[in-house]
Every structure is written in structure tokens, then in C-alpha cells.
Structure 1
Amino acid sequence: MRGVLRKTRLLLEMTKPKQLALLMITMYGAYFAGGGGLDPVLLGLLTLTGIGSAGGVTALNMYLEEDIDSIMPRTRDRPLPSGALSKREALYGVSALIVLGTLAGAAINKYVALAALIGLYFDIIAYTELAKRRTEWALLFGSVAGSMPALGGWAAATGGYSVIGVLLAGIVYVWQPLHVAFIHYYYEDQYSEAGIPTIPLRLGHKAFADLALFSISSTIILIWGIVAYLGEGYLTASIATLLGVQALRAVMRFKGSPRREMALAMIKFASPLVGIIFILLPIEMHLLTL
């Protein structure tokens, strides 16, 4: 029994729990913003969809990148390169997660299942298999996958896709390249050793800063687009804008004088943007209007 529990813990570690938690926040946030209720069955299925699909796809990505992880010091201790989990065990566990997530999504409706499958395609085929080892712009494909939990959450509440659902997914899409590129910048020596092309490595710190400026600005624009469309959400948009302006100022300082500690300051303000939006918006749209 202890062995099974240990293997299960290692499999869950492959889902990158912190990253998964943020994606689940976007999923629940979009669900409640779409008017979703506290139906325990529906929320249970949605939770299984998020863990199985988003977490399973991340774990499959890690399975396919074992060779890269074994080279980079920051990833050598992950379950596969460390030998704590065998490739067969990982493949069985990952497959079970993805099947579970897809079936749970289909049990809600076809649009939730479709979002899960789109995430699987863009993360595994477009990003990992076709682009990551070839181009520094691969992160644009991976960001599509990152935006699918939000779209799926909206579809679970509303029964389909709509302008607001797409805008919410768009917020995650334009924010995620900043998060990924920051990791690339911070560990650029390790990515260089592994032979992975990244924007900081290929194009330099100014291109990285420009991507950050675009990412933060686009996030602010999209949240105000939701406000303009709905006629509500002003508090959320205002708080996101204040935080975004601080992040933009940090980026401009970094662009003029790039230092690692300045990049940390930049990400300090930019990272909470998505979480704040997806937590505050449903509260403002529904709870504050009761």
C-alpha cells in the first residue's frame, strides 16, 4: 500500500501542482463568472476534468521531455529523470489521468470535452513534439493549452462558448508567454545546455522585455474588453490595471538595465494578474450584486 501511495504521489508531482492550481483557479473563476452554481456533481466532474486533463497533459509533457529534464539541474530531481518512477508506470498513470479528464468533461457537455482535447493537441503535438526543440516561439502554442481550462469552465456553466468565454481564455493566453519566457530567462544557461531555443537566448533581453510589455498590456486590454461588453467588472479591471501598471514600470526598468533581480521584481507584479482577475471577477459579477 505504501508503494502505491508513493507512486501516486510521484505521478501527481508530474502534474506540477502549483501550475495546476493556477489553471484550476482560471477554470473555477470562468465557471462562476458564467453563472455556474454549487451543484456538487457538476463541480466534482469539473474538478476531475481539470486535474485529469490539464494535470494529465502536463504530466505527459514531462514524460516526453525526460531527456531534457535529465540535462537541466532544476529538473533532474523530477520523478522520471531521478528514477523514482519508471517510464511504464508514468505512461500508465498519465494515460489514466487524461482518459479520466476527457470522460469527465464529456459527462458535463461536448464543449468542455472539446476544450480538453484542444489543450491536449496544442500542448503535446503543437508545442512539445513539433515546436519546442525547433523555435523560440513554441510558447505561443503551449499558451493555447493553458487557456483551455478557462474556456472549459465557462462552457461547463453556460453550455457552450461565447464572446466572454473566449475573452477569459484570451486573458490566460496572452499572460502565459510572460510566465514561460521568464522561466526561460531565469534559467537561460540551463536551456542553452539542453539545446532548447528560447526568446531570451535567441533574441535577447529586449525581445523578452517587449514580450512582457505586450503580455501585460494585452491582459489589461482584455479585462477592460470584458467590462465594456458586460457593463460590470470595473473593480476587477481597476485592480488588475493598477497591478499591471506596476509590472509595466518594472519591465521598462529591466529593459533599460537588465538584471536578474529586476526580472524577479517584474514577475512579482505580473504573476498575480491572472489569479486576481479570475478570483475577483466572479465575485464582483454575482456575489456583489446579490
Structure 2
Amino acid sequence: MIRMVRFYIRLIKTPQAALLLFTAMAGYRSAGGNLGLLEIMIAMLGLLFAISGTTALNMVFDRDIDVVMERTRNRPIPTGMISPKGAFIFGSVLILVGMSGNYWVSLLYANVVLAGVFFDLAVYTLWLKRRSPWSIVFGGMAGAMPILAGRTLALGYIDWVGILLALAILLWIPSHILTLAMNHSRDYKLAGVPTFPNVFGFENARYFMAVSNLAAAGVMLAVFLWLNVSVSGIVVLLLGSLFLLGFSLRNILHPSEKTNFALFKYVSLYMAGAMLILIL
């Protein structure tokens, strides 16, 4: 029983789900929300369930790709530990339960979360992932919805700060995705997935990530200034942004799997740090 629970937990990519939930909390705190504890808990759990259910359904839809790729062939569905039907039911129930809670708390908040589910499942996974190297843009839009949802939950409406925060996440995501795509390019070729690096070349992908990181840092700084974040918070963000650009330039000037993986690790640390400043 415990073993099966572990397999189902592996369906939801807990580190990814936790990071997205963290961005939602940062969005909420950035607006100084004053909802009751029960409403906040239901909203965050609802978002977590929606994210987790979406990830589980993605694994169902991508099971033919996962079985081909070395990086993903040991996931629960390709190994036969969980059936596609079981995973589909699991993911669907999570989304339904999560969205029910979200709609109970706030109609607008729930609609933003639902937009993220739609972009991830329908637009990214089912439509564009196997057709276009630009699918990362729409995957990024899905990843940007939690922080927008969190701020919307606090305000009761969508504002420009929320949109800019979502844009910062959207601009951050290419480095998170493309570094993996580069280090596993052979896998993606075998699976027939047209990733940006395989279509446009690794050098162009490195420049694209550097420009995207520069833009993400700029947008995040603009948000911090707009929100009157403390001087110490802005200094930390600036130092983190300098390191981000340093990692990006190093990846261009000294390209290797090692520098690529270092950038992959740092971009997550950078965004988590920026979110922590907003929360505090």
C-alpha cells in the first residue's frame, strides 16, 4: 500500500508543484492579502491539487514519449507500476477536487488557475509539444498562472503588477526547460519532440536563455521597485540577478553539460529567492 502511494506521489512531481505553489504564496503576499486562514488554506490546497492533477494527466498523455526517453522511462506509468487508467482517474479527481475548492473561495482566482490547467494540458501537451519548438512559451504561460492567481486572490482583481510577476515567471521558464532539453537532446530526438535546441541549435538556445534571463531580472526589479520592497530585498535581488547573468554568460562562453546543469540549478534558486523576498 505504502509502495503504491509512493508511486502516485511520483506522478505529481512534488518539487515542481511545491515551487509553483511557492510562487502563488509570493503573489498573495505581494498584495498584502487579508483573507481568513481557512480560505487561504483551501485556496492553496486547491491550487496544489490542480497542479498535481495536471502533472499526472500529462504523464498519461506523454506515456508513449516517456517510455522512449532514458530520463523518463522509469516513471510509474512506463514501468507499469500504475496503469494509464488509474493515473487518469487520479489526476482528474485531483483537478476536480482542487477546482471545487478554488471556486468556493473565489471565482476569479479559480478561473486564473483553470487557465493554467488549460494552457498546460490542452495547448502545451496535447497541441504544441510534439509540433512546435515554441511550445515552451505556452508551457511557460501555464507556469506563470499560479503567481498571478495568488495576487488575484488577495486583491479580488487582476492588476499590472500581477501581470508583470507572471511575465517574470514566463521569462524565467526557458532556462528551466531548455537546459534540460539540451542535456537530454538525444532523448527528445528519439521521442520526436521538436525542442528549441534541436531545431535552432544549442548556441542559439544559449543566447535565447541569456536574453530571457536578462529580461526576467529586469521585470522582477521593476516589480520590486513598484511594490516598494525594502532596500535590503532589492540589493539581494540585484546580487542574485548578477549571478544569474554570470551563469548565463558562462554557459555561452564555456558551453558544456556541466555549465548547462549549473544554470539549471541556479535559475530555480534565483526564482525561489525572489519569491521568498516577496513573501517576507
Range of TM-score over shorter length: over 0.9
* Residue 269 of structure 1 pairs with residue 266 of structure 2: yes
| Contact 2:179–2:263, Cα closer than 8 Å, also in 1 | no
Aligned to 1:58: 55
**Residue 77 (structure 2) aligns with:** 80
Once structures 1 and 2 are overlaid, which stretch shifts more, 100-109 or 237-246?
Answer: 237-246
Conserved? CA contact 2:29–2:279, under 8 Å: yes
In structure 2, the residue matched to 1:142 is 139
Counterpart residue identity of residue 263, structure 1: N
Task: Report the equivalent of 1:27.
Answer: 24
Aligned letter for 1:270? V
Residue 169 of structure 1 is matched in structure 2 by: 166
Question: What per-residue deviation string (whole Å, max 9, x for no partner) do you get for residues 148-174 of structure 1?
Answer: 111111122111211111122222111
Displacement after TM superposition at 1:198 (Å)? 0.9
- Whole-angstrom CA distance in 1 between matches of 2:230 and 2:211: 22
* 1:287 counterpart residue number: none
Q: 1:115 is aligned with what amino acid?
A: V
Q: Which amino acid aligns with 1:57?
A: T
1:209 aligned to 2:210?
no
Task: Identify unmatched segments of 5+ residues in structure 1.
Answer: 284-290
CA distance in 1: counterparts of 2:224 and 2:45, whole angstroms: 30
Closer, same or farther: CA 28–179 of 1 in aligned 2, 3 Å: same
Number of equivalenced pairs = 280
Mapped contact 2:26–2:147 kept (Cα < 8 A): yes
Structure 2 unaligned residues grouped into runs of 5+: none
- Corresponding residue for residue 178 of structure 1: 175
Matches within 5 A, 1:209-288: 209-283=206-280
- TM-score, with normalisation over the residues of structure 2? 0.94
Shift of 1:37: 4.3
Distance 1:6 1:261 in 2: 34
**Cα distance change, pair 254–62 in 1 and its aligned pair in 2 (3 A):** same
The one of 9, 33, 39 equivalent to 1:12 is: 9
Q: What whole-Å deviation, never above 9, does each CA across 1:37-84 have from its counterpart, x for those lacking one?
A: 473311221222222111111111111000000101111111111101
**Native 8 Å contact 2:56 2:88 kept in 1:** no
- Greater mean alpha carbon deviation, residues 70-79 or residues 227-236: 227-236
CA contact (8 A) 2:55 2:91 kept: no
Match of 1:194 in 2: 191
Q: What letter is aligned with 2:162?
A: G
Does the aligned pair in 2 maintain the 1:71–1:193 contact within 8 Å? yes
Aligned counterpart, 1:111: 108
TM-score (ref. length: structure 1): 0.91
- CA RMSD in angstroms comes to 1.7
Q: Which amino acid aligns with 1:138?
A: S
Q: C-alpha distance in 1, partners of 2:5/2:85?
A: 14
The one-letter code of the counterpart of 1:242 is L
- The separation in 1 between residues aligned to 2:197 and 2:29, in whole angstroms, is 37
Percent of aligned pairs sharing the same letter:
29
Conserved in 2, the CA contact under 8 Å of 1:30 and 1:150? yes
Question: What are the superposed Cα offsets for residues 91-137 of structure 1, whole Å, 9 maximum, x if unpaired?
Answer: 11111011111111111111111112111111111111111111111
Distance in 1, Cα, partners of 2:14 & 2:141: 19
Q: CA deviation at 1:189?
A: 1.2
Q: Distance in 1 between matches of 2:171 and 2:8?
A: 29
Name the counterpart of 1:71.
Answer: 68
> 2:39 pairs with 38, 42, 45, which one?
42
Q: How big is each residue's C-alpha offset from its partner over 1:1-47, in whole Å with a ceiling of 9 and x where there is no partner?
A: x2xx5444322221100101100110111112221247331122122
Residues 244, 270 of structure 1: 8 Å contact kept = no
Structure 2 contact 116–141 (Cα < 8 Å) conserved = yes
| Aligned residues of 1:11 and 1:94 also touching (Cα < 8 A) | no
